[in-house]
Amino acid sequence: MLLLLTLLFKELLFHGASTVGEKNQDLQVLRPHHLTTEEPLTFHLIQISSFANHSWAHTQGSGWLGELQTHRWNGVLGTIQFLWPWSRGNFSKEELKNLQALLQLYLHAFPRVVQAFASQFQFEYPFEIQISFGCRMHAGKASGSFLNGAYQGSDFLSFQGNSWKPSSGAGSQAQNVCNVLNHYRVIKEIVQILLSDTCPRFLSDLLEAGKAELERQEKPEAWVSKGHSPEPGRLLLVCHVSGFHPKPVWVMWMRGEQEQRSTQQGDIMPNADGTWYLRVTLDVAAGEVAGLACRVKHSSLEGHDIIIHLDGYSILLILICLTVIVTWVMLVMVGSWFKKRRSQHPRLQEFRKSPLLGKEIMAQKHILEEMENKPKPTLMTFVLPCT
């Protein structure tokens, strides 16, 4: 059964690869040179398969570009979910369809094969298998690939060159699994094609299609708070930083220019809009709070760090408040000017308040103008003689 499945995998894979082989003659130099960075860029797939017993298993799958999730496997429908408009890269519909069919076959067969070999591999229920598969790019060039497997959260085996090798410390159990896998030449050929051809091309396409998102810069917002520490006479200072992108950020509690080494940083957590949130704490004696400040460095700030004093406000917040105040003053001044103009034209003001509309307003206006322009009658005095 395993051999038949691998032959199906190979047929699907080579069919998809043949449609794009002519477009990529040289895989050493990839297209998005403008996205060159000092750090290597990685695309990897993560598979987590949980086995409760010989008849029940559950698998989750996801795809990641660096630390940004781009894909999710829908186990109910057996389809790839593209989490961003650019997550398809520039692959053709036919090739994406073939890759999806390949994943369907693999994820359908994987639990059954593992359960069939569980006794031989000495897997004890319940257990979990984790697989990470991916490739790297550095300075616009493919710089390596990897396929690692873990059993119960510990390194177990990896694919290196053209064969499976046990991880250091995994023992004879991992060696036994590698010996079995290495007998299947077709499986090794499929893995080599995926690692050396399909993954680097897909990573290149993602970097090109997702350039706007990858280069997105969002400035962080920061605020501080304080609470009671578990120890008496001490306070827990908290610096909150949120809304920043990309993920790398530097946050530290400071006293003047001196970093407070007891600063504790939590995990960087995602926000719903794709930005990030971080919480950084400092446990200090209540009498040592004065002079402490939280400092934030991020690429979007372009060297203008955010510094928030514990009992003060950040420079950014002060600028926002000043902007609001200036705007309010300008609105008051403009309102006063219009009020003054209306007071200088009382007739126009009364006329605008008139309930008459349309033709009636125009008629009233003409009557008023005629009355003002019409010459006033001269009063004549007649003196009657007295008889």
Residues 150/129, Cβ–Cβ less than 8 Å:
yes
Within a domain: 152: yes
| Tokens linked to 225 | 């708070």
How many distinct structural domains can be found in the chain? Answer: 2
Q: Is the same domain home to 211 and 229? A: no
pLDDT at 213 over 50: yes
pLDDT at 284 over 70: yes
Domain boundary among 309, 325, 350: 309
pLDDT at 352 over 80: no
Q: Is the same domain home to 198 and 255? A: no
Q: Is the same domain home to 48 and 116? A: yes
| Tokens linked to 187 | 């499986």
Which pLDDT tens digit goes with each residue over 151-189?
999 999 999 999 999 999 999 999 999 999 999 999 999
Q: Is the same domain home to 236 and 145? A: no
Q: Is the same domain home to 195 and 290? A: no
pLDDT at 32 over 70: no
For position 374, what pLDDT does the model report? 58
Q: Is the same domain home to 44 and 137? A: yes
| Tokens linked to 358 | 């349309």
Q: Predicted confidence band at 146 (pLDDT cuts at 50, 70, 90)?
A: very high
Q: Predicted confidence band at 201 (pLDDT cuts at 50, 70, 90)?
A: very high
Q: Is the same domain home to 177 and 59? A: yes
Q: Is the same domain home to 137 and 263? A: no
Domain boundary among 269, 289, 309: 309
Domain boundary among 259, 283, 309: 309
Q: Is the same domain home to 60 and 168? A: yes
How many CA atoms, within 13 angstroms, populate the side-chain half-sphere of residue 121? 22
Within a domain: 320: no
Which pLDDT tens digit goes with each residue over 243-255?
999 999 999 999 9
Within a domain: 366: no
Q: Is the same domain home to 188 and 256? A: no
| 9 compared with 116, residue with greater pLDDT | 116
Q: Is the dihedral of CA 335, 336, 339, 341 positive or negative?
A: negative
Within a domain: 272: yes
Q: Is the same domain home to 148 and 173? A: yes
Q: Is the same domain home to 96 and 187? A: yes
Domain at 254, CATH number: 2.60.40.10
Range scoring the smallest mean pLDDT among 15-29, 78-92, 313-327: 15-29
Domain extent for 255? 221-309
